[in-house]
Amino acid sequence: MIIFPAMDLYNGDIVKLEAKQHKAVEIVYGKPAEIAARWLGLGAEWLHVVDLNAALGDGTNLPALHLIQARAQKTGARIQWGGGVRDDAAVKAVLDAGAERAIVGTKAIRDWAWLVEAAARHPGRIMVSIDGKGREIMVNGWQASAGVDAVEFIARANALPLAGYLYTNVAVEGRGQGVDWTPIRDIVETSTKPVVFSGGVTTIEDVARFKELGAYGIIAGSALYKGRIDFTQAKALAT
C-alpha cells in the first residue's frame, strides 16, 4: 500500500484550508519545492498535489508542478495532480508538465461520454475522483448530489483504461475525526483498478486497517503535517 503525502497548493504555497471547503487559509506549511523535498527525503514514492486555485477558478499553480517534478525526478517518485481539471486541454497540460496521473472529478462523473474518450486518449493516466457522503457521489465542490452511487459508478467504469479511483469521504475530510469505514469495503471489492482513499486518516491504526481492507493507497494530509502520523512509520507499516 502506498502512502501519498497531500500537498494542497493555494497562491503558490502549500496550505491547509479549513475543512477543505475553501473558506479560509488555516495554515501555510511552506513552498512546494521545500515540502516536496521533505516528503521525498523520507522516501515518498508518490505525491498527491491539488491546485486549489484552479479548483476555485481563480488562477493556476501549474508552474509549481515543474518545480515539484524536478525534485521527484531525482528519486524516481511520481506525482498525481488534481484541481480544476475539467477538459482534455487541462488533462494534457497536467500530463505534459510532468504529472503521471491527472485527477478528474465532477467532469468525469457528469459526462460519461467525455470520460470514455479521455480515458482512451490517455490510457492509464486519468484517475477519477469520487467525492462521497458514504456511497452518494457529490459534485460541484461537494455542494450537490450527482444522483449516482459510488459503487455502481465504479462497476461501470472498470471497463475503461483508467489509472484508478480516488475516493474521498467529504463528511470527514480535513476534520481529524476519523474514517467512516462503511463504504470502504464495498468500493475495494467492486473495483478492478487501484483505489486510493482520502478523508479522516488520523492514526497509525487507520493505516493498518486500510491495508487490511486492500486499499492500493491512502492520502494523508493534516495528520502528517500535525505529527499525528509519522510518515516513516506509516510507510513501513504499509509496505
pTM of the model: 0.92
The C-alpha atoms of residue 178 and residue 142 are separated, in whole angstroms, by 19
> Annotated catalytic residue: which of 131, 149, 206, 230?
131
Asked if 197 contacts 218 with a C-beta cutoff of 8 angstroms, the reply is yes
pLDDT tens-place values along the chain, 239 residues long: 999 999 999 999 999 875 545 555 568 899 999 999 999 999 999 999 999 999 988 999 999 999 999 999 999 999 999 999 999 999 999 999 999 999 999 999 999 999 999 999 999 999 999 999 888 898 877 677 888 999 999 999 999 999 999 999 886 655 556 687 888 999 999 999 999 999 888 899 999 999 999 999 999 998 999 999 999 999 999 99
184-189: which pairs have CB atoms within 8 A and are 24 or more residues apart? Answer: 184/210, 184/213, 184/215, 185/213, 186/135, 186/151, 187/150, 187/151, 187/154, 188/213, 188/214, 188/215
Was domain 2-232 assigned CATH 3.20.20.70?
A: yes
CA 16 to chain centre: 14
Domain boundary assignment for the chain: 2-232
Q: Tell me, yes or no, if 87 is annotated catalytic.
A: no
User: Distances from the Cα of 93 to the Cαs of 61, 84, 166, in angstroms?
Assistant: 12, 12, 20
**From 8, 13, 51, 96, active-site residue:** 8
Query: Is residue 131 among the annotated active site residues?
Result: yes
